[in-house]
Amino acid sequence: MMIVMTPQAAEDQIQAVVARLETTGVHVVVMPGELTTAIGAIGDPEGVAELGIEGMPGVDRVVPISRSYKLASSELSHHEPSVFDIGGRTVGGGSTFCLIAGPCTVESREQTLGVARAVKAAGASMLRGGAFKPRTSPFAFKGLGAPALEILSEAREETGLPIVTELLDAQHAGLIEQYADVVQIGARNMQNYALLEVAGKLGKPVLLKRGLSSSLDELLQAADYVLKEGNEAVILCERGIRTFETATRFTLDLGAIPWLKLHTHLPVIVDPSHAAGDRRLVGPLSRAAAAVGADGLIVEVHEDPEHALCDGPQALQASQFAEFTAAVAAHAQLEGMRLA
> For residue 295, what pLDDT is reported?
97
Nearest to 176 by CA among 132, 234, 208: 132
Sequence-distant (≥ 6) Cβ neighbours of residue 174 within 8 angstroms: none
> For residue 76, what pLDDT is reported?
60
Cα–Cα dist 130/128, whole Å:
7
Q: How many CA atoms lie within 13 A of 76 on its CB side?
A: 24
For residues 112 and 152, the answer to whether their CB atoms sit within 8 Å is yes
> For residue 78, what pLDDT is reported?
58
Cα–Cα dist 271/253, whole Å:
11
* Strand pairing report for 2-5 and 27-32: unpaired
> For residue 330, what pLDDT is reported?
94
Cα–Cα dist 298/159, whole Å:
18
Q: How many CA atoms lie within 13 A of 329 on its CB side?
A: 14
Cα–Cα dist 187/200, whole Å:
16
Per-residue burial over 290-329, b if 16 or more Cβ lie within 10 Å, else e, is bebbbbbbbbbbbbebeebbbbeebbbbbeebeebbeebb
- At 254, the amino acid letter reads L
Cα–Cα dist 34/268, whole Å:
25
Q: Note the residue count of the chain.
A: 340
Environment class of 11 (CB within 10 Å of its CB; exposed 0-12, middle 13-18, buried 19+): exposed
Which CA distances in Å does 188 have to 137, 178, 201, 240? 14, 23, 20, 12
> For residue 49, what pLDDT is reported?
84
- Spell out, as residue ranges, where the chain has pLDDT lower than 70: 76-79
Environment class of 99 (CB within 10 Å of its CB; exposed 0-12, middle 13-18, buried 19+): buried
> For residue 73, what pLDDT is reported?
87
> For residue 25, what pLDDT is reported?
86
What residues form DSSP beta bridges with 184? 166, 207
Cα–Cα dist 131/163, whole Å:
11
Beta strands in the chain (DSSP E): 2-5, 27-32, 37-42, 59-63, 84-86, 89-91, 96-102, 126-128, 163-166, 182-185, 206-209, 234-238, 268-270, 296-302, 316-317, 338-339
Which CA distances in Å does 216 have to 56, 134, 321? 37, 23, 31
